[in-house]
A and B are shown apart, each in its own frame.
Chain A
Amino acid sequence: MTLPGFPDAMPLHGLAGGLMIGLSAAIMLLVLGRIAGVSGLAARAVGLSASGPPRGIAIAFIIGLPLGALLVSLLAGPVVTRFPASIWPLLIGGLLVGYGTRLGSGCTSGHGVCGMSRLSPRSLAATALFMASGFVTVALLRARGLL
């Protein structure tokens, strides 16, 4: 199914994948009593965070991420990943994402999915700000002909 006016959009795939992500976060919450925040769990897994769940739990969750993507590629065919052509967006983007998510205590999963659905004021503020920053950053890249 496509969305009228947006030929590239995959609304049903998006919704299905979103439900799976929500189910994953629900399992972490209701079974393990934790927030499924990927930036925090990644930092915990590699020993860059003093707080968070036992390291074994963080490592197990993080290992699951590529495992899940691999399963989809094996069962449903190739998973599209169009990365930036140059390595600079990866290096600069990665650095900012790593620093920013730690300073701001979360990313799209922790603040966006888990915090917003909890109506956490901190997460609502953080999500509004990182979304706004993302929109402005891409607009600036486009204005400079860098997209």
Chain B
Amino acid sequence: MKQSAIALAAGTMFGAGLAVSGMADPQRVQAFLDLGGNWDPTLAFVMGGAMLVMVIAWAIQRRMAAPIAVSRFDLPQTHRIDARLAIGALIFGAGWGIGGLCPGPAIADLAIAPGQAAMFIAAMLAGMAIHRLTLR
């Protein structure tokens, strides 16, 4: 219960950050990827701000034996750069460019433009389901 409350607070902060930064706007995200048009570098500032905090967070994490609210860290340990990673990233990037949306902004936009966000999310969940059913 306490853990869910913390996750809800973190998710709310994340969604608010997306809205404040302009990243909830698919056209602005697409404009970052559009080097041949009116290039909009805002996304780079968002990444910079988020990375700044997270570089510090990782430095703190390395000095901690366990997280504050649970008994252990549960973090990805894979180091292999394989075909799945590469092909998955390329497919994701193509979809990101076509719609101007990645998962976070799409879900946050349910509060702002529910019809269009839901359409994207339905397709996204279908894509996730296809992956789940076809690859083990």
A positions within 8 Å CB-CB of B: 3, 6, 8-36, 38-39, 42-43, 46, 48-49, 53-54, 56-73, 76, 79-84, 87, 89-105, 107-109, 111-118, 120-122, 125-127, 129-139, 141-143, 147
Contacts and interface: CB of A to CB of B under 8 A. Distances in A.
Nearest to A96: B95
Interface string B1-32: 00111111111111111111111111110110
Residue among B28, B81, B103, B109 with most chain A CB within 10 A: B103
A95 B7 contact: no
The 8 closest A-B pairs by CB, nearest first: A64-B11, A17-B21, A18-B49, A104-B88, A98-B127, A93-B99, A68-B15, A133-B93
A14 B101 CA distance: 16
Contact of B124 (A95, A141, A142): A95
A69 B101 contact: no
B99 A15 contact: no
Give the interface size class of chain B: 35 or more
Contacts of A92: 95, 98-99, 123
Given A17-B22, A112-B47, A138-B33, A130 B76 contact: no
Contacts of A17: 16-23, 46, 49
B25 A42 contact: no
Interface of B: 3-28, 30-31, 33-58, 60-61, 64, 66-70, 72-76, 78-81, 84-104, 106-113, 116-117, 119-132, 135
Contacts of B112: 66, 69-70, 73, 79, 81
A57 B109 contact: no
B105 to A, nearest CB: 8
B112 to A, nearest CB: 5
Contacts of B61: 29-30
Contacts of A143: 36
B57 to A, nearest CB: 4
A22 B51 contact: yes
B33 A101 contact: no
Contact of B120 (A71, A93, A99, A122): A93
Nearest to A57: B7
B13 to A, nearest CB: 4
Nearest to A133: B93
Given A43-B128, A65-B14, A108-B104, 11 more contacts: A10-B22, A18-B47, A28-B10, A38-B103, A54-B3, A67-B8, A69-B108, A90-B116, A94-B121, A94-B124, A97-B101
25 contacts: A9-B42, A15-B46, A17-B19, A17-B20, A18-B17, A29-B58, A33-B70, A69-B110, A81-B26, A81-B109, A83-B27, A84-B99, A89-B98, A90-B119, A91-B120, A94-B122, A94-B124, A98-B126, A100-B88, A100-B95, A102-B128, A130-B90, A131-B93, A133-B96, A139-B34
